[in-house]
């Protein structure tokens, strides 16, 4: 009887562990091709296993976005990035739950911001056009490594959005507007401005269960 009970407990523990195990992440970028992505190939290129937007030789004429061809709703997105150029003018970001605006170069949706005084902030691109949440200004210089690789973790679960920059949480935001769509594509941005480059690599996504 004790032996059977012990065996049952082992089985229950194994099932519980499988249920709690993290879903394997999927790669969104293979390091070599634009498979699964669409955007302006005159602005975006692949170099050294990374997606690069912009140029250090000429001004970025307008906001440009390289977007996934699939939509995502609830997920944990992880990627590494670096921003090169004048720190006073260079800017970029990672869009999510986003849509392209028809017949326009812009997109509409949430953005994990990069650059200037917006590192670690959640911005609402082309919609409310403002920062929704972000770190305290005095903390920003401690959050990122200039001209070097940094890491974002973007977690979207229902109406709750959390951003983590280099291991430090910078945003924990719950969307109060129930009319705002909570699904869409993921885009990599290079912002209009002086000569600059935004590099992105090691892009993976883990699908999460839906939450209210």
Q: Is 144 within the bounds of a domain?
A: yes
The CATH number given to whatever domain includes residue 39 is 2.60.120.560
Q: Is 81 within the bounds of a domain?
A: yes
Given this model, what pLDDT does residue 6 score?
44
Residue that the structure tokens 């921003």 belong to: 83
Total domains in the chain come to 1
Q: Is 7 within the bounds of a domain?
A: no
pTM of the model: 0.88
Given this model, what pLDDT does residue 212 score?
61
Given this model, what pLDDT does residue 9 score?
41
Q: Is 8 within the bounds of a domain?
A: no
Per-residue pLDDT of the chain (212 residues; tens, 9 = 90+): 444 444 444 434 443 443 434 457 899 999 999 999 999 999 999 999 999 999 999 999 999 999 999 999 999 999 999 999 999 999 999 999 999 999 999 999 999 999 999 999 999 999 999 999 999 999 999 999 999 999 999 999 999 999 999 999 999 999 999 999 999 999 999 999 999 999 999 999 999 998 76
Q: Is 18 within the bounds of a domain?
A: no
Q: Is 37 within the bounds of a domain?
A: yes
Q: Is 35 within the bounds of a domain?
A: yes
Given this model, what pLDDT does residue 98 score?
98
Domain that includes residue 168, residue range: 25-207
């Amino acid at each position: 009887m004790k032996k059977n009970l012990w065996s049952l407990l082992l089985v229950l523990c194994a099932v519980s562990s499988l249920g709690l195990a993290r879903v394997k992440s999927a790669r969104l970028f293979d390091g070599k091709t634009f498979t699964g992505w669409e955007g302006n190939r005159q602005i975006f290129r692949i170099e050294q296993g990374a997606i690069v937007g912009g140029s250090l030789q000429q001004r970025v004429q307008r906001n440009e976005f390289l977007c996934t061809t699939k939509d995502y709703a609830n997920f944990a997105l992880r990627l590494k990035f670096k921003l090169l150029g004048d720190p006073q003018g260079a800017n970029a970001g990672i869009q999510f739950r986003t849509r392209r605006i028809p017949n326009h170069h812009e997109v509409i949706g949430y953005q994990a911001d990069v650059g200037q005084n917006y590192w670690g902030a959640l911005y609402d691109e082309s919609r409310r056009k403002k920062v929704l949440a972000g770190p305290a200004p005095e903390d920003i210089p401690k959050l990122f490594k200039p001209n070097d690789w940094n890491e974002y973790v973007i977690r979207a679960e229902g109406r709750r959005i959390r951003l983590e920059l280099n291991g430090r949480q910078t945003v924990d935001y719950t969307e109060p507007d129930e009319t705002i769509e909570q699904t869409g594509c993921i885009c990599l941005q290079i912002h209009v401005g002086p000569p600059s480059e935004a590099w992105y690599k090691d892009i993976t996504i883990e699908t999460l269960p839906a939450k209210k």
